[in-house]
Amino acid sequence: MSHVSEKIRYEFESVPIGLKYHILEKNIRLNSHDDLVGALNSVLQEEDEENELLPVMKRLARETLGRLNPQHGQPPIAGIH
């Protein structure tokens, strides 16, 4: 199970519910804004032909990244712990 620190909990709550659960299943520690942006970028990197919802998750990740990080480039992908 992933961990979301208190300092970004409000920001994480702005992520669409389906995408939020998709990220939480990855066992990622989200301690900062950069961790959250990295987790969203990692969704964009995923490839799973059997996951019918992945295109939806990628669209939601792009939209959320645009909202959370509108003036920045692509940060590194979040590490999985």
- Per-residue pLDDT of 26-77, as tens digits, reads 888 999 999 999 999 999 998 887 888 889 999 999 999 988 876 655 554 5
pLDDT higher than 80, residue 78: no
Is residue 46 domain-resident?
yes
Query: Which structural domain range is residue 63 located in?
Result: 3-68
Q: What is the pTM of this model?
A: 0.75
pLDDT higher than 50, residue 80: no
Tokens of 30: 């989200």
Query: What confidence score (pLDDT) does residue 63 get?
Result: 92
Is residue 34 domain-resident?
yes
Is residue 24 domain-resident?
yes
Query: What confidence score (pLDDT) does residue 34 get?
Result: 92
Is residue 12 domain-resident?
yes
Total of domains in the chain: 1
- State the CB neighbour count (10 A cutoff) for residue 13: 10
Is residue 77 domain-resident?
no
- Please answer whether residues 53 and 18 qualify as being in contact, where contact means their C-beta atoms are separated by less than 8 angstroms: yes
**Collapsed DSSP state (helix, strand, coil) of residue 46:** coil
